[in-house]
């Protein structure tokens, strides 16, 4: 059974003062057909951050409105009962419409925000650990805290992007031809440096003998991506549209599991299916066996 939900207003949310921050691209925006999914509905998500000087965690909530496809809103909530609903939020406006994806990460006392435009331009924004420190509206986001990478320019041969995921220091894109690429955006600043891009592929020993790299079995377009950590070890779960589920070791970039799914209602509920019991036991067992 699929999950259903309804958005309801939060008391105080209508009085938020949005600080407008504009993101300027280093190059002109693309007028080509979209290379990533369009935002046709409202999308939002959240993550928790634990700051050493606070007893209670804070939560970062982002949202992309379908009526404001060029903007992303970010709010920081506190779990403390002494702190009410925030009066200030950030609204980042980009030069191109956004794809329905964003990832907020917290590492080394810094917040990083990953965003993708429909033209295939990936952004990494490095924020302070307290977003209320941005108090000057209608200003340009600091360019020295902004990194971008044009995925279309280097990987258009894979077809359009169909799914995206990110974790601190790495953005993962799945493509229409079934390919999956890991970009060390935020870890390696030079996009031409060795190791910046890793394409996840099945290397065939026979293919190497004949002097070419075999991509192994042909799979369908990437439908969904999930990055999950078990006891400090990261795994990438890749669901293809033909029902093939593959699990990759994010460190060695090697495939450790492949299985053909036969559940038609899986579409749209990948996270729910993957981490429901007993499937969650399988996820945890990966750490033991690999």
Percentage of the chain with pLDDT > 90? Answer: 49
CA–CA dist 237, 245 (Å, integer): 7
Find out whether 56 and 78 touch, Cβ atoms under 8 Å. Answer: yes
Closest CA to 286 of 235, 227, 226: 235
**Average confidence (pLDDT) over 76-88:** 72
**Model confidence at 45: pLDDT above 80:** yes
How many domains in the chain?
2
**Model confidence at 214: pLDDT above 50:** no
Model pLDDT, residue 279: 54
Find out whether 102 and 114 touch, Cβ atoms under 8 Å. Answer: yes
CA distances from 76 to 27, 71, 164, 203, 279 (A): 31, 17, 23, 44, 32
Model pLDDT, residue 206: 38
> What are the tokens at 44?
């939002």
Split at pLDDT 50, 70, 90, the class of 271 is: low
CA–CA dist 103, 123 (Å, integer): 11
The whole domain housing 131 covers 14-152
- Domain membership of residue 167 (yes or no) is no
Residue at which a domain ends, from 119, 152, 185: 152
- Domain membership of residue 1 (yes or no) is no
- Domain membership of residue 105 (yes or no) is yes
Residues 21 and 139 in one domain: yes
Alpha helices in the chain (DSSP H): 151-155, 205-209, 270-274, 279-289
**Model confidence at 204: pLDDT above 50:** no
- Domain membership of residue 163 (yes or no) is no
Predicted TM-score of the model (pTM)? 0.84
- Domain membership of residue 273 (yes or no) is yes
Residue at which a domain ends, from 120, 152, 184: 152
**Model confidence at 237: pLDDT above 50:** yes
- Domain membership of residue 161 (yes or no) is no
Tell me: the pLDDT tens digits for 155-193? 999 999 999 999 999 999 999 999 999 999 988 878 889
Burial (CB count within 10 angstroms: exposed 0-12, middle 13-18, buried 19+), residue 124: buried
Residues 43 and 128 in one domain: yes
Residue with tokens 């359009």: 160
- Domain membership of residue 205 (yes or no) is no
Percentage of the chain with pLDDT > 70? Answer: 74
Residues 146 and 250 in one domain: no
CA–CA dist 65, 83 (Å, integer): 26
Residue at which a domain ends, from 152, 177, 195: 152
Name 267's Cβ contacts closer than 8 Å, sequence gap at least 6.
223
- Domain membership of residue 281 (yes or no) is yes
- Range among 69-83, 224-238, 266-280 with highest mean pLDDT value: 224-238
> Mind giving me the DSSP string for 149-163?
EEHHHHHGGG-SEEE
**Model confidence at 44: pLDDT above 50:** yes
Residues 24 and 145 in one domain: yes
**Average confidence (pLDDT) over 267-285:** 57
Mean pLDDT of the chain: 81
Find out whether 48 and 56 touch, Cβ atoms under 8 Å. Answer: no
Residues 131 and 230 in one domain: no
Alpha helices in 99-204 (DSSP H): 151-155
Residues 128 and 241 in one domain: no
Residues 24 and 143 in one domain: yes
What is the number of alpha carbons within 13 Å of residue 33 lying toward its C-beta? Answer: 4
**Model confidence at 144: pLDDT above 70:** yes
Tell me: the pLDDT tens digits for 52-63? 555 567 889 999
Model pLDDT, residue 2: 41
């Amino acid at each position: 059974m699929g999950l259903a939900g309804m958005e309801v207003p939060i008391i105080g949310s209508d009085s938020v003062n949005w600080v407008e921050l504009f993101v300027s691209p280093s190059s002109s925006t693309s007028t080509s057909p979209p290379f990533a999914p369009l935002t046709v509905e409202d999308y939002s998500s959240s993550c928790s951050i634990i700051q050493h000087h606070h007893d209670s965690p804070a939560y970062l909530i982002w949202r992309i409105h379908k009526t404001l496809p060029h903007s992303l809103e970010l709010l920081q909530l506190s779990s403390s009962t002494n702190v009410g609903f925030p009066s200030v939020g950030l609204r980042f406006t980009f030069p191109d419409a956004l794809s329905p994806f964003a990832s907020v990460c917290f590492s080394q006392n810094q917040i990083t925000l990953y965003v993708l435009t429909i033209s295939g331009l990936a952004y990494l924004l490095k924020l302070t650990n307290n977003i209320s420190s941005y108090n000057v509206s209608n200003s340009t986001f600091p360019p020295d805290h902004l990194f971008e990478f044009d995925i279309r320019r280097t990987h258009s041969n894979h077809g359009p992007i169909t799914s995206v995921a990110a974790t601190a220091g790495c953005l993962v894109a799945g493509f229409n031809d079934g390919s999956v690429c890991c970009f060390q955006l935020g870890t390696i600043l030079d996009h031409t440096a060795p190791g910046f891009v890793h394409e996840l592929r099945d290397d065939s020993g026979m293919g190497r003998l004949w002097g070419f790299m075999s991509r192994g079995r042909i799979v369908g377009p990437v439908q969904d991506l999930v990055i999950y950590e078990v006891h400090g070890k990261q795994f990438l779960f890749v669901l293809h549209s033909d029902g093939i589920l593959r699990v990759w070791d994010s460190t060695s970039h090697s495939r450790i599991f492949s299985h053909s799914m036969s559940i038609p209602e899986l579409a749209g509920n990948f996270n729910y299916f993957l981490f429901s019991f007993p499937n969650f036991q399988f996820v945890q067992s990966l750490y033991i066996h690999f």
